[in-house]
Amino acid sequence: MADTPVGRFAPSPTGRMHLGNIFTALLSWLSVKARGGRWILRIEDLDPQRSRLEYARQIEDDLLWLGLPWDEGGIDGKLPAGPYLQSQRHQFYEDALARLEATGRVYRCTCRRADIHAVGAPHASDGRIIYNGRCRPKSLGGNAVPSLLQNKGAWRLFVPDETIVFADVVYGLQNINLAREFGDFLLRRADGAWAYQLAVVADDALMGVTEIVRGHDLLSSAAPQIYLYHLLGYQPPVYAHVPLICNTDGIRLSKRDTSLSMEALRLRYEAPALIGHIAHLAGIIPAPDPVTPSELLSCLQFRTLSTLTTLKSPSILVPSS
């Protein structure tokens, strides 16, 4: 028998969830629950400025209202792999960073924001600025980093000119060149804050996550994450990125789109009516009739993640009022 699937939902508690977040949560939940798996709730509160515990509590309340209980994790989750708040997991990130340092690929970068954003800075294909490599050692593992600077600055990973190839369940085969699309990405900021790429890999690996269902905006991030899995000696999970929900102008929903926030949705719908609409948007049921997540589990169309392969477009448009 194949191992039990383990999925997770990893919201950032920076505001109320919206239709897009619950679309992802439902698909991730169904995928593992349909195969008798476990679903973990992890709170990604790495950014102390924007994260609030009250938002995390609200996320938990909204998930329970929707009928999406988690098997493991949440604010008070301790076992087996807790704590499940990233703000309480520094020790795990320290360990991961130490292991990456042991590969000789980590160096300190003392550039200021202005240096990194200077005219002529390299860009990824989507326009993001890529670090120009100013502090990059000439060779790996040597003494190329001036010792004066070794204990200061941000931690970056020396990334090879290597293309990561992986098969996304929804979007198919991906070829993403690390150097061109990410460059030497951050592992930890100079102020000590942990970078998303390092934390997400450390957490998913330690929590035994076998499949990641999340928004299409994170598709390319799977490449640096897979690279980190390899450096840390872990087996990467299966990735299924799902379309982003956009308003009719084609703009992705954000926490500022209040008409499709959970607050507004809970005033307009009963939970089964809302789940019915979302399941219909995802192509799981033929009509938007009320249904609970548990009832969807017995629905024949939803057997494995590959059900989602019909969701090819990067976004789904929905009217926001």
Q: Name the residues that contact Zn ion, by CB under 5 A.
A: 109, 111, 134-135
- Count the site residues for ligand GLU by CB under 6 A: 7
Q: Please give the structure tokens belonging to residue 90.
A: 């520094």
Site for ligand GLU in 40-99 (CB under 6 A): 44
How far apart CA 181 and CA 29 sit, in angstroms, is 30
Give the residue with the Cβ less far from Zn ion, 145 or 316: 145
Please write down the HEC assignment for all residues of 62-96.
HHHHHCCCCCEECCCCCCCCCCCEHHHCHHHHHHH
Q: Is 218 a binder of ligand GLU (CB under 6 A)?
A: yes
Site for ligand GLU in 28-47 (CB under 6 A): 44
Residue 211's binding partner out of Zn ion, ligand GLU, none, with CB under 5 to 8 Å set by partner kind: none
How far apart CA 274 and CA 288 sit, in angstroms, is 9
Q: Which stretch binds ligand GLU (CB under 6 A): 4-12, 74-82, 179-187, 290-298?
A: 4-12
Residue 10's binding partner out of Zn ion, ligand GLU, none, with CB under 5 to 8 Å set by partner kind: ligand GLU
- Is the bond into 83 cis (omega within 30 degrees of 0)? yes
- In angstroms, what is the minimal distance from the CB of 212 to Zn ion? 30
- In angstroms, what is the minimal distance from the CB of 286 to ligand GLU? 29
Q: Is 15 a binder of ligand GLU (CB under 6 A)?
A: no
Q: Is 200 a binder of ligand GLU (CB under 6 A)?
A: yes
Neighbours of 137 (CB within 10 A): 17
Helix, strand, coil distribution of the chain in percent, nearest 5: 35, 20, 45
Burial of 32 (0-12, 13-18, 19+ CB in 10 A): buried
**DSSP letter string, 159-190:** --S-EEEEEETTTEEEEEEHHHHT-S-EEE-T
Give the residue with the Cβ less far from Zn ion, 128 or 134: 134
- In angstroms, what is the minimal distance from the CB of 174 to ligand GLU? 16
Residue 72's binding partner out of ligand GLU, Zn ion, none, with CB under 5 to 8 Å set by partner kind: none
DSSP H or E stretch at residue 144 = none
Binding stretches for ligand GLU (CB under 6 A): 10-12, 44, 200, 214, 218
